[in-house]
Structure 1
Amino acid sequence: MAQLTIRDLYDLLSRASRRRDLEQDGIRLVYDGTAIHLSTADQPDTVIATARTCGFVTGSWDVTAYQASVATVMAWMRMLDSEDLIDVSPFWASAPVLIAFTPAGGQTGAFPVIACPTAPADRRPLLRADGLPPCPE
């Protein structure tokens, strides 16, 4: 989890490039324990923008998410107080599924993840006590 102000996160995401020809183009967010760095999936080593984090510190993480989802997340953030803190963290079950945004005392907003290299390598589906998957047959 990284914690920063909603304004700083909004400013960071607004720097993501808009590419009309690639609607599902990925953006890459890398948290190093002190800042979140933004780049694109096709140029991961070129940092477009950086936002310093504040508040709580956790382990580093790296996600690539859908560029097309950024506008939705930004629209949701415009309804929040820009000075409040927001938690940003990858969330996965049996595979990386989303990156979650949780403002203090608010509801979580999220968007899909393409890849999460920092997800646990030993993740596997949850099994019932009888060894079968918890899905209906």
Structure 2
Amino acid sequence: MAQMKIRDLYGLLRQAPRRQDLEQDGIRLVYDGTALHLSTADHPDTVIARTNTCGFTTGPWEVTAYRASITSVEVWLRINPEYGDHLIDVSPFWPTRPAGIAFTAGGGHTDAFPAIACPTTPADRRP
């Protein structure tokens, strides 16, 4: 899990390319334990944006989400009443296949979106 300010996450996701600008429909999020990095599935080594995390931290993870999922997260963050300097948790999860990515803000506001790939999925949860 990565924890960061909602404002910072929203700013990061707004920098993701539009769907028509992508060769593949995937946005890659990589958490290294201190920052969340954004790139695309077709250019994974080109970091488009990053934001530092604060608060609770966990081990590193990586997930590639559908561009439509990222757009939905942006909309969800805009209507979230906790927007601003409050913290939000971002983490991959594997309740079923395929993997997903969950966003949890204060006050129990949680939503989850499907992922294309999650290389950090535990071995016993991989397809």
Same fold (TM over 0.5): yes
Residue of structure 2 in register with 1:40 after alignment = 40
How far apart, in 1, do the equivalents of 2:76 and 2:96 lie? 27
Alignment map for 1:1-40 (pairs within 5 Å): 1-20=1-20, 25-40=25-40
8 Å contact from structure 1 (residues 24, 66) kept in 2: no
Give the 3 Å change call, closer, same or farther, for CA 91–15 of structure 1 in structure 2. same
Q: Distance in 2 between matches of 1:19 and 1:74?
A: 14
Q: Measure how far apart 1:100 and its partner are.
A: 0.2
Q: Deviations over 1:18-51 (max 9, x none)?
A: 1327697100000000000000001101000001
Which has more radius of gyration? 1
- Normalised by the length of structure 1, the TM-score is 0.84
Deviation at 1:106, TM superposition (A): 2.5
Among 102, 105, 110, the residue aligned to 1:103: 105
Aligned Cα root-mean-square deviation (Å)? 1.9
Q: Structure 2 residue aligned with 1:88, among 74, 87, 90?
A: 90
Write the deviation string for residues 66-99 of structure 1: whole angstroms up to 9, x where unpaired.
0112221111101222211000000102434210
Aligned equivalents of 2:109 and 2:48: distance in 1? 28
2:121 aligns with: 119
Q: Distance in 1 between matches of 2:3 and 2:59?
A: 12
Q: Relative to total residues, which structure has the larger helix share, 1 or 2?
A: 2
Contact 2:36 2:51 in 1 (8 A): yes
* Count of aligned pairs: 125
Larger deviation: 2-11 or 106-115?
106-115
Quick one: which amino acid aligns to residue 7 of structure 1?
A: R
Distance 1:22 1:7, change over 3 A: same
In percent, how many aligned pairs have the same letter?
A: 69
